[in-house]
Amino acid sequence: MVGTLTLVAGTARCAVNDNTPGIRIRVDDYAHVSPGILNGAQREAARILAKAGLRAEWLDCSLKNESAADPCSEPLQPTEIVLRLISEAKNNKYQDSVFGFAVVPLVASAYVNYAVRSAQRDNAEFEIPVILGSVIAHEIGHLLLGLNSHSESGIMQKQWERHQIRQALTGNLLFTIEQGQSMQAEIRKRAQNPPH
């Protein structure tokens, strides 16, 4: 009973409730990001997505799981997407910016080096998780908003200068209200009609 009561209290405090559309993100970490940075980046991306009305759940698919019940070996579920963390641009074919690219509708790639360079320019390596989390949220945004989803304001801006990085570091580089509504609708649609 105590557990039940704790859960209810936690739900009541949280802005994200059970009706919030959720996505599960399978993470393939080719860049070997340290666990501390990865956790911080995922927490920040989840915070940004929660502000847009989405619940994010992470599934680490970098470690080969020998057990028969490895969820990473299952076919993608309707509301699952793939996030690849990579060091550098291997080619420019899909590149839409310096910090990552997305192959709509299912696979997003984020350049870890972009976050590292941005933070090092400020001589502030502790900024890496927040910048990386913002990049991850941007690329997930591409998957859910479709092609040509850059915008003049907010996290979907094509280029980030100092101003946008500062906004990210103060927690204010976010999706617009309209983008949040579109992404919620897209996830609800996928739950009914998978995109693949």
As given in the structure block, the two tokens for residue 39 are: 């956790």
Using the rule CB under 5 A, is 97 a contact of Zn ion?
yes
**Is the CB of 60 or the CB of 96 nearer to Zn ion?**
96
**Is the CB of 62 or the CB of 97 nearer to Zn ion?**
97
Q: Which of 50, 96, 122, 191 forms a contact with Zn ion (CB under 5 A)?
A: 96
Q: Segment 117-136, which members bind Zn ion (CB under 5 A)?
A: none
Stretch of residues binding Zn ion (CB under 5 A), selected from 57-65, 79-87, 94-102, 187-195: 94-102
Using the rule CB under 5 A, is 157 a contact of Zn ion?
no
State how far the alpha carbon of 182 is from the alpha carbons of 92, 120, 142, in Å: 28, 34, 11
Stretch of residues binding Zn ion (CB under 5 A), selected from 32-40, 93-101, 105-113, 164-172: 93-101
Residue count at the site for Zn ion (CB under 5 A)?
2
Using the rule CB under 5 A, is 60 a contact of Zn ion?
no
* Strand residues in the chain grouped as ranges (E): 22-29, 55-60, 80-86, 100-103, 107-111
**Is the CB of 97 or the CB of 164 nearer to Zn ion?**
97
Report the interface residues with Zn ion, using CB under 5 A: 96-97
